[in-house]
């Protein structure tokens, strides 16, 4: 006899203090043009106001974890900090996740979403036929099975309400544009602003 089995609820652990501070660190970096030291100063000021850390985990611990996990590198001679390639990659990944997680249904494109609709990828989900559905969307195997259930095997017939449609994963349309100022001001007074602009995609050149 089938029934229900109950077990003790075990809540999923939340983010660690390091992960929480890392999220804030990554959010602040674009506002400092990727300056790790300035970002850390901002975080220390925020810590004083909002008590982001506690007696068990302080900003010193966070900085050490940044270095241990490959997000930050230190110049012992100068006593300065700089971002690593891992930090840059994480920033790009978070930026793309923020962009594509907010996609809405519009025209057909090449960006997958979690919504059903026009697309190339076949979904395992089926639904009843609706007026306007295309013939190539009909799942005949499932439709015949539904007809057998609805009408029996002795007098088999396939009616409109027996038809089953195989869903496809919707793909939204979007465009991403990256513009870099290459006017004379980018190299004015001997300053190379083009290279940093290419290195840091979020940096705005004046």
Instruction: Give the angle 19-20-24 at the CA atoms, nearest 5°.
Output: 110
Cα(38)–Cα(148) distance, integer angstroms? 70
Instruction: State pTM to two decimals.
Output: 0.50
Residue 47, pLDDT score: 94
CA dihedral 135, 140, 144, 146 (to 10 degrees): -80
pLDDT of 68 higher than 70: yes
**Which whole number is the average pLDDT over 166-191?**
69
End-to-end CA distance of the chain: 73
Q: Which two tokens stand for residue 171?
A: 């793909």
Residue 2, pLDDT score: 58
pLDDT digits (tens, 9 = 90+) for 80-101: 899 998 988 888 887 777 766 6
Q: Give the residue, 204 or 151, on which the prediction is more confident.
A: 151
17-101, CATH topology level = Arc Repressor Mutant, subunit A (1.10.10)
Residue 204, pLDDT score: 39
pLDDT digits (tens, 9 = 90+) for 42-54: 999 999 999 999 9
Specify whether the backbone of 89 is left (phi greater than 0), alpha (psi in -120 to 50) or beta.
alpha
Residue 166, pLDDT score: 83
**Which whole number is the average pLDDT over 29-47?**
91
pLDDT winner (highest mean) among 88-92, 113-117, 172-176: 88-92
Band of pLDDT at residue 61, cut at 50, 70 and 90 = very high
Band of pLDDT at residue 71, cut at 50, 70 and 90 = very high
Task: Using DSSP, state whether 130 is helix, strand or coil.
Answer: coil
| Residues present in the chain in total | 206
pLDDT of 189 higher than 70: no
Domain boundaries, the chain: 17-101, 108-172, 175-206
Band of pLDDT at residue 102, cut at 50, 70 and 90 = low
């Amino acid at each position: 006899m089938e029934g229900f089995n109950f077990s003790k609820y075990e809540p999923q652990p939340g983010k660690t203090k390091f992960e929480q501070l890392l999220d804030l660190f990554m959010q602040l970096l674009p506002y400092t043009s990727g300056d790790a030291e300035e970002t850390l100063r901002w975080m220390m000021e925020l810590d004083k106001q909002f008590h982001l850390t506690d007696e068990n985990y302080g900003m010193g611990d966070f900085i050490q974890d940044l270095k241990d996990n490959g997000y930050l590198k230190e110049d012992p001679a100068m006593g300065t900090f700089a971002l690593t390639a891992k930090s840059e990659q994480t920033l790009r990944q978070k930026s793309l996740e923020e962009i594509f997680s907010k996609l809405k249904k519009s025209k057909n494109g090449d960006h997958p979403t979690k919504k059903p609709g026009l697309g190339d990828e076949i979904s395992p989900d089926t639904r009843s036929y609706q007026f306007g559905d295309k013939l190539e969307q009909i799942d005949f195997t499932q439709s015949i099975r539904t007809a057998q259930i609805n009408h029996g095997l002795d007098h088999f017939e396939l009616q409109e309400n027996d038809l089953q449609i195989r869903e496809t994963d919707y793909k939204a349309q979007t465009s991403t544009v990256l513009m870099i100022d290459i006017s004379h001001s980018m190299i004015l007074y001997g300053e190379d602003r083009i290279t940093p602009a290419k290195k840091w995609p979020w940096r705005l050149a004046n």
